[in-house]
């Protein structure tokens, strides 16, 4: 264990303690080695498949790289072009709008499902599986299925709305409804979030509810004064991960509007950032520009996450901190 040798200081003098590196036992060293051995697959995977490409893409973002020829250094040209290309701004704003719809909607929807699951008793296992199963569906298959479900004329969604006298929109053709339809499709995959919320809800002490009930608190008060604060850690985590995932959304938008089956795009209203990045990289051979786009998105995501953390830290309650 660590030891510190201190000499008595002379009167009036404060001598800083001199520290010697702790002498580590052979067992501790063996444990260290074993630890590194265990995490080495992850570390190697990270270096090879994440850090390596990230560094490469940063380097490429300062080049004109068309994938076939040798990259040619162009300095900040790609970054300047980001601000000159109207479709970068358009795709970015589309992505923000989509994220602004999906993140709150997904959070509320998942929380509602989790609260329902908490109350179903013995059937909980079945419903947990049922809610999680869509998570296993490939995004492309889900998007193709939703193209049928969301058809304005014959889709099931509008038929159901019709039972309530609601004349549903043309989800996949009306430019005003393209982003809401993408957000609706993304709700299909909130199963994982439901499970996280369910675990968090089960961790809320029952005594708090009993005490609140004795004090005359109604269900709404109990929800906002007990449930939400007590699961705020889980809510905070999922809001951040949903935001990051929303900013990187690709599969659904590509399959529904830009894939091989869609010979022409529906409208620029469905052009999300990652789709435009993909087009630049693999259709227009502008890998350097696409790399710059990726780094712009990285910076934006970092900024949003930083902001969320700063705000979240004021309100989030962690059990372990008490």
312 binds other proteins, rule: CB under 8 A: no
**Which residue's CB is nearer to other proteins, number 169 or number 192?**
169
266 binds other proteins, rule: CB under 8 A: yes
Q: What are phi and psi of 178, to 5 degrees?
A: -65, -45
248 binds other proteins, rule: CB under 8 A: no
285 binds other proteins, rule: CB under 8 A: yes
Q: How far is the CB of 277 from other proteins (least distance, A)?
A: 12
- Which x/- pattern, by CB under 8 A, does the window 131-150 give for other proteins? ----------------x---
In sequence order, what are the residues at sequence separation of 6 or more whose Cβ sits closer than 8 angstroms to the Cβ of residue 134? Answer: 142, 188, 189, 191
Q: Compute the distance between CA of residue 253 and CA of residue 275 in angstroms, rounded to an integer.
A: 7
**Which residue's CB is nearer to other proteins, number 38 or number 318?**
38
Binder of other proteins out of 283, 314, 318, 321 (CB under 8 A) = 283
Residue 173, helix vs strand vs coil: coil
The string of DSSP codes covering 262-292 is -SS-S-GGG--HHHHHHIIIIIS--HHHHHH
37 binds other proteins, rule: CB under 8 A: no
Q: What are phi and psi of 317, to 5 degrees?
A: -110, 125
Q: List the one residue out of 291, 238, 253 whose CA is nearest residue 79.
A: 291
Binder of other proteins out of 56, 89, 145, 303 (CB under 8 A) = 56
Q: Compute the distance between CA of residue 270 and CA of residue 265 in angstroms, rounded to an integer.
A: 8
**Which residue's CB is nearer to other proteins, number 66 or number 308?**
66
- If binding means CB under 8 A, how many residues of this protein chain bind other proteins? 46
**Which residue's CB is nearer to other proteins, number 87 or number 222?**
87
151 binds other proteins, rule: CB under 8 A: yes
52 binds other proteins, rule: CB under 8 A: yes
In the chain, DSSP assigns E strands to: 63-64, 72-73
Question: Which among 2-10, 101-109, 278-286, 293-301 is the span making contact with other proteins, rule CB under 8 A?
Answer: 278-286
CA dihedral 281→176→155→243, nearest 10 degrees, is 60
264 binds other proteins, rule: CB under 8 A: yes
Q: Compute the distance between CA of residue 101 and CA of residue 108 in angstroms, rounded to an integer.
A: 11
277 binds other proteins, rule: CB under 8 A: no
Q: Compute the distance between CA of residue 209 and CA of residue 229 in angstroms, rounded to an integer.
A: 13
- Which x/- pattern, by CB under 8 A, does the window 154-173 give for other proteins? x---------------x-xx
25 binds other proteins, rule: CB under 8 A: no
Q: What are phi and psi of 64, to 5 degrees?
A: -95, 100
Residue ranges binding other proteins (CB under 8 A): 36, 44, 47-48, 51-53, 55-56, 59-60, 65-71, 86-87, 147, 151-154, 170, 172-175, 260, 263-269, 271, 278-279, 281-285
């Amino acid at each position: 264990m660590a030891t510190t040798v201190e000499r008595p200081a002379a009167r009036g003098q404060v001598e800083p303690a001199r520290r010697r590196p702790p002498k580590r036992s052979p067992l501790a060293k063996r444990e260290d080695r074993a630890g590194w051995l265990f995490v080495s697959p992850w570390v190697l995977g990270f270096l090879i498949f994440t850090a390596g490409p990230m560094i490469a893409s940063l380097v490429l973002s300062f080049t004109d790289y068309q994938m076939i020829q040798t990259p040619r250094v162009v300095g900040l040209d790609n970054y300047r072009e980001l601000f000159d290309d109207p479709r970068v701004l358009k795709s970015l704003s589309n992505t923000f709008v989509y994220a602004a719809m999906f993140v709150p909607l997904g959070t509320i929807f998942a929380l509602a499902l989790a609260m329902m699951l908490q109350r179903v008793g013995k059937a909980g296992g079945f419903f947990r599986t049922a809610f999680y199963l869509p998570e296993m569906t490939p995004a492309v298959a889900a998007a193709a299925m939703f193209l049928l479900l969301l058809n304005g004329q014959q889709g099931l969604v509008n038929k159901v709305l019709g039972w309530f006298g609601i004349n549903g929109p043309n989800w996949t053709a009306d430019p005003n409804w393209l982003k809401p339809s993408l957000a609706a499709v993304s709700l299909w995959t909130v199963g994982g979030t439901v499970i996280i919320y369910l675990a968090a809800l089960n961790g809320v002490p029952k005594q708090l509810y009993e005490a609140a009930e004795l004090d005359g608190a109604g269900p709404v008060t109990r929800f906002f004064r007990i449930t939400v604060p007590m699961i705020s850690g889980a809510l905070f985590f999922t809001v951040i991960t949903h935001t990051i995932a929303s900013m990187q959304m690709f599969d659904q938008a590509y399959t529904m509007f830009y894939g091989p089956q869609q010979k022409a795009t529906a409208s620029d209203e469905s052009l999300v950032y990652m789709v435009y990045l993909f087009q630049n990289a693999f259709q227009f051979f502008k890998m350097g520009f696409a790399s710059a786009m990726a780094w712009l998105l990285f910076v934006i995501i970092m900024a949003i996450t930083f902001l969320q953390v700063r705000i979240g830290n004021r309100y989030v309650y962690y059990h372990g901190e008490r």
